[in-house]
Structure 1
């Protein structure tokens, strides 16, 4: 038996419900694997981006930045490869067009057609036969700011990693934005809540800083899972271990959030490590005892693929996540 969810798309009533929170490339890669599993997926996506095409449309059209939303829609879409390629196409010439992706422009158009950004995302989800729901973390754009260890304030998601300074904390303005009712409802009804992989301070943290979202996650009885990045990110998580990622989240929300952490434990070839070292990145160290001291269980496996860049193995990662969720649903009865 199936029913219609709040995006207007059908879903099976007996599918485990999973909420995935974040932004950036890592989230999209993981969702491509998860959509092949019998899961009811809700993706809650950051709206802090201020660079490139998203930043321009955000300023000129007064809409939440569409870039991360676009990537998640395409990752979850049941669409022809050419359609996905078309939506990702970025114009490299044209007065006013250069730098924009077609998908971003379509989302801006859908906002004008439907009257608001969230309705536009839902309508485009139907057009693309998206397997799940895609929700911005809030109706309005937010500005991400960082206080650095020397007290300097850096404004803008795209500028924070480039400051050359160590981050003490990040915060958002305005700080009283409201989360979507659908996002709160999805968290309350979830069997599992998943965060990462992605930029810790600029893709994951902005969602947790939206008032009520972190509180709802902390109060949830759902299985809470963190997928840790394989490599550190220059300007954000230099020299971070797995536990450093968890501590940074605790510092911002006031408590530990996760029941499980999924990490890569395969060795990275020296030539690949050297390639990343030239950009200032290194392998995220697994400090098992510190993670376990939080009451957090670790699932470690060979989870990376290397082509031009390291990426999570979406199929293997999604199998681990699905097994955890299935086990939790079975335990609940």
Structure 2
């Protein structure tokens, strides 16, 4: 019987043989490289013959007949062999480049440089959910491939809610958003994951949600399903649910009333006293706690304060892991208030709500937007919905003992939200200041 080592060797040989199939244009240049190596070897032997004639016999005597011209032979051989190797390697790389990047953009060298730069990037953990977290991830992936997104899985509305009720699977919507945000796959594949069916039995379902739900059914495990989806999209980093258990989000309002369900909470339009998980003792994924402990930078938010950000911190073990982490921990405050959740909230109100939810501080820094929206028409639309810019409250935040990071990070293209590139740039600059031993990381 074949051993595991021999099977692995056979598989490796088969992989290498694929590079020799017709049409790629590599075989001829590999032959040139091989010829160059042979010529270089001959040149090395002739040098040895001239340096140690007693050990090489006939070759040394033949070279000796050339007299002062004897050293010309190894010189020509070494120079010619070197040229053949350089030409062959360059042409081989160009052939691979044309196959992988037929348009010429980007080039293979550029991709390798980016991958190496990102691979050396800081280990970043980002906690949140919804649109806020996916917006942040789109900017962060230019700085590092070592990103762990920790996502809430408590959604009960829309496509995710229907799949949760009908199939009993954890809601995949926020997981899908983060997978797409970190994706390196072709644009068509990411658009496919975001595609929503316009009618029929699948009306409103996102294809990515159905795909993840199907993977949960095949693998029997949410974590494994997310890992497989990550491979399909070739994501930069990893996405983890805060917990793999089925959890319901519960809110208690200022008047004492209680409502269950993430999607139902903002619709009540009353001040929220607190939110809780039901059941409350669900375990955090060990990988999440490990990632927090090993992180170089931890980001909390942006996102819906009571239904996306705080729920992650309520999973037992996560808040304690954050407090024990050595990395800078930055809370990214929202740029706009959210009707039904943070009506009238300033940046200080956001931070105090965060502290009240977890029984103390979990952040070292607070990043706030200081750029007022200038798109009057867009601003009027938000005002009509009861949403207003969040007052940055810089001095009160500083009095609370936080390191305050003020930055212009708003985007006004179609909606008022964080700009992914500006936000990521501000975050990475803050990380460099907070941890001066690290060299600043440039975007790629």
**2:236 matched to 1:125?**
no
TM-score (norm 1): 0.93
Q: Which stretch shows the higher mean deviation, 40-49 or 257-266?
A: 257-266
DSSP-derived class of the 2:417 partner: strand
CA deviations on 1:118-176 (whole Å, 9 max, x unpaired) are 10101110121110010000011210010001100011100000012111000010101
DSSP-derived class of the 2:437 partner: helix
- Cα gap change, 1:13 to 1:268, in 2 (>3 Å): closer
| 1:60 matched residue in structure 2 | 166
**2:141 matched to 1:35?**
yes
More strand per residue: 1
- Check conservation: 2:118, 2:143, Cα contact below 8 A: no
After TM superposition, the runs of 4+ consecutive aligned structure 1 residues lying more than 6 A away are 10-13
| 1:282 matched residue in structure 2 | 388
Decide which of 108, 112, 135 is 2:240's aligned counterpart: 135
Work out which of the two has the higher radius of gyration on C-alpha atoms and give 1 or 2: 2
Higher normalized contact order (CA 8 Å, seq sep 6+, divided by chain length):
1
- Cα gap change, 1:137 to 1:11, in 2 (>3 Å): farther
- Check conservation: 1:64, 1:117, Cα contact below 8 A: yes
Q: CA deviation at 1:301?
A: 1.9
- Check conservation: 1:16, 1:325, Cα contact below 8 A: no
RMSD: 1.8
Decide which of 342, 350, 367 is 1:262's aligned counterpart: 367
DSSP-derived class of the 2:200 partner: coil
**Structure 1 Cα separation of the partners of residues 139 and 249 of structure 2:** 29
Decide which of 139, 145, 149 is 2:250's aligned counterpart: 145
**Structure 1 Cα separation of the partners of residues 240 and 147 of structure 2:** 11
- Check conservation: 1:19, 1:44, Cα contact below 8 A: yes
TM-score (norm 2): 0.70
- Check conservation: 2:163, 2:171, Cα contact below 8 A: yes
Please list every run of 5 or more consecutive structure 1 residues that lacks an aligned counterpart in the other structure: 1-9
Decide which of 180, 200, 210 is 1:105's aligned counterpart: 210
Decide which of 427, 433, 437 is 1:321's aligned counterpart: 427
**2:203 matched to 1:203?**
no
Please list every run of 5 or more consecutive structure 2 residues that lacks an aligned counterpart in the other structure: 1-115, 440-444
**2:321 matched to 1:216?**
yes
| 2:295 matched residue in structure 1 | 190
Q: CA deviation at 1:199?
A: 0.2
DSSP-derived class of the 2:298 partner: strand
- Cα gap change, 1:117 to 1:11, in 2 (>3 Å): farther
Q: CA deviation at 1:329?
A: 4.3
Q: Which stretch shows the higher mean deviation, 127-136 or 111-120?
A: 111-120
CA deviations on 1:42-84 (whole Å, 9 max, x unpaired) are 0000011000110111122222100000000000000121111
Q: Which stretch shows the higher mean deviation, 193-202 or 284-293?
A: 284-293
**Structure 2 Cα separation of the partners of residues 295 and 41 of structure 1:** 28
DSSP-derived class of the 2:319 partner: helix
Alignment length, in residue pairs? 324
